[in-house]
Amino acid sequence: MTSPPHQTAVFGVSGYAGAELARLLLHHPRLRGRAPLFFGRPEEEKGTRVALTDLHPQLAGNNGAGSVTVEPFRWDALGKQKVDVVFLATPHEQSRAWVPKLLQHGVRVIDLSGAWRLDEETNRAIYKLEDHDPAAAESIQQGAVYGLPELHREQIAKAKLVANPGCYATSVILALAPLIREKRIDLGHGIVCDAKSGVSGAGKTPTAKTHFMHAADNLSAYSVFNHRHTGELLEQLGLQAKDIIFTPHLLPIPRGIFSTVYIKLQQRTTPEEIDACFRNFYADSPMVRWYGTRLPEIQFSVRTSYCDLGFALASDGQRLIVVACLDNLLKGAASQAVQNMNLLFGWPEQEGLA
């Protein structure tokens, strides 16, 4: 039996999203017989190999994971191993610095950080990124494709650099995109999005806010009016800052996102029209589950690769609530990255996920 034609590599496997990415790639039917390569960071060039299961014991027995190692980083390994696509589950600053060199090596990149998601400098400023060569970075930025398959699958298939969306942004954009396309929203009344995420959305390194003693038995709002995913909402939905209020909250649960979006419609609308609007928009989107008038719950989508959507329409036919739920580590990160890989290679986008 011949080896699969494509070689994948992952940088940043030590985090929560990196672990999920490793699990999905090791199980992917198109990659059997050719395990992903896991690399350390450049400063670890003189380091030693580490067993993947030492970092993530839960992967033991996962399609040969016990024999997979995380290798010391070497740029020349990309060419020697004939890597086709690199996944970056790394900090924003690191992704911003690495992508130019990765593209020079001729590999395609799926970046799970926020380094390349935003086209407008005013939106990108929240990341405080510094480019060694600003002109080259701007050229790369113009070629980056926002990796939300439900909106950009054709562009993703041709991309050299895919910028995986933020988890909150994925839920809110998918909740609003069908209504915005049909110009049903009365933007004069504004959109309100009340979003909540499990603690893993903040990453693996604990902080005073994500420490168990703070997060347990608690609910708190944070980054009000300046959350870094807000720019994604504005750019991808064609909105202005005055059109939407987005408030994230920290839930005392490990994972999952619950976004409640409050909308005033332009005119009186029936539930059947809302149902048709969403069904038509997502007819060819296998990783979106439309629940209609049954409102999704976190427990439906957690540990799955789906975004679940449902709605409630007031009796006046104009006040609409859309609820979106997803797993922030999967459809909000790792499984969306694999969905994008499938598109890059011309495979069904739900392969290895559903």
Here the tokens at position 275 are: 């149902």
Length of the chain: 354
The CA-atom distances, in angstroms, between 152 and each of 139, 162, 163, 192, 339 are 20, 10, 11, 25, 12
Closest listed residue to residue 22, CA positions, set 3, 39, 5: 39
At residue 85, φ and ψ (nearest 5 deg) are -140, 135
Residues 6+ apart with CB under 8 A from 226: 126
DSSP 250-265: E-SSSS-EEEEEEEEB
Question: Is 325 tagged catalytic?
Answer: no
DSSP 336-351: HHHHHHHHHTTS-TTT
CA 184 to chain centre: 26
Sheet holding 244-250, edge to edge: 220-221, 244-250, 191-197, 257-264, 319-326, 307-313, 288-290
Closest listed residue to residue 8, CA positions, set 108, 98, 104, 105: 108
Catalytic residue, chosen from 167, 193, 307, 325, is 167
Here the tokens at position 68 are: 């997979």
What residues act catalytically? 167
